[in-house]
A and B are shown apart, each in its own frame.
Chain A
Amino acid sequence: MVRGDSQVSEVLLSLDGVSRVFGDEVKVHALRDVSLDIRAGDFLSIVGPSGSGKSTLLGLLGVLDLPSSGAVRIQGTDMANLGDADRSRMRGGAIGFVFQQFHLIPHLTAVGNVETALLYRGLTAGKRHRRALDALEQVGLSSRSGHIPVQLSGGEQQRVAIARAIVTDPLMVLADEPTGALDSQNASNVMEIFADLQSPERAICVVTHDLGVAARTQRRITMLDGNIVADEHQDIDEGVR
């Protein structure tokens, strides 16, 4: 395992001896005693075959789920100690999600979709709109802000989703198979945007089973049967997708 400069950076999110068991009568151990630190500035990928526990790990990293045992901490705060409202607030502030199927709200425009991430934060409608437009500009889509999802191509929809993920200026962008529904050109563009979004204060985590996508990240975590079997730093391969 190769450890780089990220060791000295702040730990944004940590999993400490986390297990996740589903089912009451027939128990399925989706994660077994997993520990992981994600630091500011990390650009990492999580890879593994189907059933390896990637989705479960993603749910826990995104605070959409709680572990059966062990602790998930965001900047040192154990998520199990928070109520739903506080945990939701923490999720909304610290994590930006990007999904494989984009998951845009069909009846809202691009800018409207981006604005949904800024609701209930005490911002005026004008401020929400300006910040949403800024985020769309960051992903090169300001000219398409008034279009609804069906009027956008797959690559554009994914860029709207990325704008929605970064508009809150989260500590970590968590992307679930972000290139899975895109052609190679759009997939490459999306990965370039992720590379551009990388900063010393923010981590970017891409869950994928596409090794080409994983090759474009600096750190690769490999999962198998609910365990992390490899956590390695790598040189970015610009040539692969």
Chain B
Amino acid sequence: MLGPILGVAAIVSAIGINESSKGHLKAVLSDLGTDLIVANAQGSLGGFGSDPRIPEDAAARVTRLPDVESVTGTLQMADIVTLPFEEAEDFYRAFPVPVIATGLNLPETLEVLLASGRFLNDFDVSTAARVVVIGRDLADEYGYLRGEARTIQLNGIDYGVVGVLDYVLLEPSMDSAVFLTFANAEEDLGLDSRDPSRLYIRAPTNTKLVAQEVPTVISLGGPDGANTSVPTDLLDAQSQVDENLNNLTKMMGGLALIVGGVGIANVMSISVIQRSTEIGIRRALGHSRGTIAVQFLLEALVVGVLGGILGAAAGAGVVWLTAELRGYVMVLSVVGLVGWAMLSVAVAVVAGLYPSTKAARLEPLETLRLG
């Protein structure tokens, strides 16, 4: 009976997890919006031998495109030693924290809220205040308390933490980063210009068209200046991969069902041999070949029904557990559950056909050893 149980459980859980994860992904996509474009500098921009950058004026040109709502430039800086407290210097030299110089409207463009405090603003720029915002994971790692007056050191200079950015689903690396203004980066950390290496562009309409236009707008028809991507497309691709994996699981479930069916046929065939005397007695008592066949088919049916019910229950349990662990909303069709359980019954009945026929064809004279 293990075969049908495993088969149905595998199929039900593969489908259930797929549906639940799709439902989750749809919710995530609808939260993120599908209109964010990421443009990365590439090629010769920024000068030979240095990391590619997007000129500040090119970023301003993107802002003026008709469908673009907001644009934020960022630059991830290299070789900055970030220390939450001095004793941890060795550790943080070995595992540096990403430091990102950013435009002031990053939360609006990414549509992310602040977990606490505020983001960087014009006042900070005009007063050259040494303030930073940190990502949510970094805040957890530092043990940052809401509203706490805390400083961290960037290359030995103290910066006050004014806010914590909430989780950025499309850029998880930002969750453990430190954000500061381009002005501070120039002043304190030796940044040579305010040219970003990456633009986040929110374009609610004609998103794909804008994504195609942006490289041209940046390079003005020159050599490749930037490439663009729509991160939600990547998530879609990811879900496609998940679906392929689930199809594989379904196929393996189907295989388990078939193997289970062969197992049922095998065990029942042995049972027919073991019970040949009983079959002979029943035939002598007046049971017809049909009655004997039906008796064995019913036994296969019971195995199939029990296997189907237990398998569907086990599969539903796996889906529930996965949904709980991953924070999905459990999506499982009752009709589907019944359908897959019925498949188990069908497999068991088909598997029972051969041994049943074999039982019905047994000659009572041979099994009863008369005389």
Q: Which residue of B lies closest to A104 (CB)?
A: B281
Answer whether residue A91 sits at the interface, using C-beta atoms and an 8 A cutoff. Answer: yes
Given contacts A55-B370, A65-B365, contact A105 B281 (CB under 8 A): yes
Contacts of A105 in B (CB 8 A): 278, 281
As a 0/1 sequence over residues 37 to 60 of chain A, the CB contacts with chain B under 8 angstroms (1 = contact) are 000000000000000001100110
Task: In the complex, identify which listed stretch (A92-100, A142-150, A192-200) lies at the interface while the others stay far away.
Answer: A92-100
- Measured CB to CB, the nearest residue on chain B to A94 is B286
- Beyond the given A89-B286, A117-B286, A120-B291, please list 14 additional residue pairs across the A-B interface where CB-CB is below 8 A: A55-B370, A62-B284, A64-B363, A64-B364, A64-B365, A85-B289, A92-B286, A99-B368, A99-B370, A103-B277, A103-B281, A105-B278, A116-B282, A120-B286
6 A-B pairs closest in CB distance? A92-B286, A55-B371, A88-B288, A85-B288, A55-B370, A97-B284
- Contact between chains at B371 and A207 (CB < 8 Å): yes
A100-121, CB < 8 A from B? 101, 103, 105, 116-117, 119-120
Q: Which residue of A lies closest to B369 (CB)?
A: A101
Chain B residues close to A by CB (< 8 Å): 277-278, 280-291, 363-365, 368-371
Does A89 contact B288, Cβ atoms closer than 8 Å? yes
* B287 engages A54 (CB within 8 Å): no
A176 adjacent to chain B (CB < 8 Å)? yes
Interface residues on A, range: 20 to 34
Task: Write out the residue numbers on chain B whose beta carbons fall within 8 Å of the beta carbon of A59.
Answer: 365, 370
Secondary structure type dominating chain B contacts: helix
The residue of chain B having its C-beta at the shortest distance from the C-beta of A113 within the complex is: B281
**Known interface pairs A84-B290, A176-B370; A97-B365 also in contact (CB < 8 Å):** no
In the bound assembly, the distance between CA atoms of A54 and B290 in angstroms comes to 29
Flag if B285 contacts A116 (CB, 8 Å).
yes
B365 proximity list for chain A (CB < 8 A):
55, 59, 64-65
Q: Is A177 located at the chain interface by the 8 A CB criterion?
A: yes
